[in-house]
Amino acid sequence: MHSWGENKQPIRQQELSIDKHDPDPKALSCYGMLDAHTRKMRLRFVDGRPVSHVTTAFLAWLCERVAVDGKQTLLLIWDNASWHVSAEVVTWIRQHNQTVLQRRRQGDEQPGVQLVPCWLPVKSPWLNRIEPYWIHGKRAVMEPARLLTSQELIQRICDHFQCEHVEHLTQRVS
């Protein structure tokens, strides 16, 4: 395994404790898209949890980005996470696709990107091409001897995947 650490020192993982009063988040949420042709990752971090409205915000952002690349359709290969299969997300995708198809029929030069969701069977991560990238990314950025701050972790992830750090998506709290 490769990791950040002292030169020529063996890597020893240890369970590190977190200070209860530390304002830094205990975990990070991140949405990602792997372009199967270029192997380029597009990432968006989340302030909060990955819930339905955050998922639709990520999809809207993603559609804008891939439209710039000239794409007309985006195949979503997803697991059955609750924020992927929720009624809100499924409804948003359906409405989004109806809008895109209507614009295409009207001859709009930039109708948008159609989304084709493909849900994987439960507990089958090996069918998703992005999973090995996540695993290697986690191993590449970890530091066994200390806990990283959220900003350090985000920077290392962006550096590893060679992607820009864009504004975080935010979970609405009601």
Tokens of 3: 């990791």
Tens of pLDDT, residues 66-90: 999 999 999 998 888 888 889 999 9
Determine contact, residues 84/119, Cβ cutoff 8 Å: yes
- How much of the chain, in percent, has pLDDT values that exceed 70? 89
Q: For residue 56, which of 27, 29, 94, 25 has the smallest C-alpha distance?
A: 94
User: Distance between CA 87 and CA 1 in Å, rounded?
Assistant: 40
What are the boundaries of each domain within the chain?
Answer: 29-170
pTM: 0.82
Determine contact, residues 163/39, Cβ cutoff 8 Å: no
Tens of pLDDT, residues 35-52: 888 889 999 999 988 899
Q: Which CATH class is domain 29-170?
A: alpha beta
